Amino acid sequence: MTAGDSRRSRQHQQDDDADTGLSFFSDSLSSLFDVHTPSRGTPGSRLVYSHPLLPSSPLASSGSVGSLTYNIPNHDGVNTKLFAHYQWDAGWELANDIVLSSSPSFSSSSSPSSSASSRWADVRGKTTLELGAGTGLPSLVAARMGARRSVVTDYPDEGILRCLRGNVELEEKERRSRRGDQESTQQDEQKLMVRGLAWGDEAQEHELLSLQPGGYDRLLIADTLWVSSSHPLLIHSILRLISRTHGRVLVAAGYHSGIPCVRRFFEACERGMSGMGRLVPDEEMGGVRERNVQSGETGKCAWYKSANDGQEDQNDDMGSIEERAKRCVLASLRWAPHVEQEQAK
- In tens, the pLDDT along 130-154 reads 999 999 999 999 999 999 999 999 9
- Is residue 330 very low, low, confident or very high in pLDDT (cuts 50, 70, 90)? very high
Q: Quick one: average pLDDT of 188-199?
A: 88
**CA-to-CA distance for 218 and 332, rounded, in angstroms?**
10
**CA-to-CA distance for 12 and 319, rounded, in angstroms?**
26
- Domain assignment present for residue 35? The answer is no
Q: Does residue 312 carry a pLDDT above 90? A: no
- Domain assignment present for residue 168? The answer is yes
Domain range for residue 229? 3-11+40-344
- Is residue 83 very low, low, confident or very high in pLDDT (cuts 50, 70, 90)? confident
pTM over 0.85, yes/no: no
What total of structural domains would you count in the chain?
1
pLDDT at 256: 85
Residue 131: CATH number of its domain: 3.40.50.150
Please name which of 331, 110, 76 lies closest in space to residue 221, comparing C-alpha atoms.
331
CB-count exposure of residue 104 (10 Å: 0-12, 13-18, 19+) = middle
* Main-chain dihedrals φ then ψ at residue 115, nearest 5 degrees: -65, 170
- Domain assignment present for residue 16? The answer is no
Q: What is the 3-state secondary structure (H, E, C) of the chain?
A: CCHHHHHHHHHHCCCCCCCCCHHHHHHCHHHHCCCCCCEECCCCCEEEEEEEEEECCCCCCCCCEEEEEEECCCCCCCCHHHCCCCEEHHHHHHHHHHHHHHCHHHHCCCCHHHCHHHHCCCCCCCEEEEECCCCCHHHHHHHHCCCCEEEEEECCCHHHHHHHHHHHHHHHHHHHHHHCCCCCCHHHHHHEEEEECCCCCHHHHHHHHHHCCCCECEEEEECCCCCHHHHHHHHHHHHHHECCCCCEEEEEEECCCCHHHHHHHHHHHHHCECCCEEEEECHHHCCEEEEECCCCCEEECCCCCCCCCCCCCCCCCCCCHHHHCCEEEEEEEEEECCHHHHHHC
pLDDT at 35: 62
pLDDT digits (tens, 9 = 90+) for 29-41: 444 445 678 889 9
What value does the mean pLDDT of the chain take?
A: 82
* Main-chain dihedrals φ then ψ at residue 25, nearest 5 degrees: -55, -45
- Domain assignment present for residue 164? The answer is yes
Q: Quick one: average pLDDT of 216-235?
A: 96
Angle at 156 between CA 155 and CA 157, to 5 degrees: 95
269 and 333 in contact (C-beta within 8 Å)?
A: yes
- Domain assignment present for residue 84? The answer is yes
- Domain assignment present for residue 29? The answer is no
pLDDT at 302: 84
pLDDT digits (tens, 9 = 90+) for 165-184: 999 999 998 877 766 665 55
Q: Give residue 342's identity as a one-letter amino acid code.
A: E
227 and 234 in contact (C-beta within 8 Å)?
A: no
pLDDT digits (tens, 9 = 90+) for 5-35: 444 444 444 443 334 444 444 444 444 445 6
- Domain assignment present for residue 218? The answer is yes
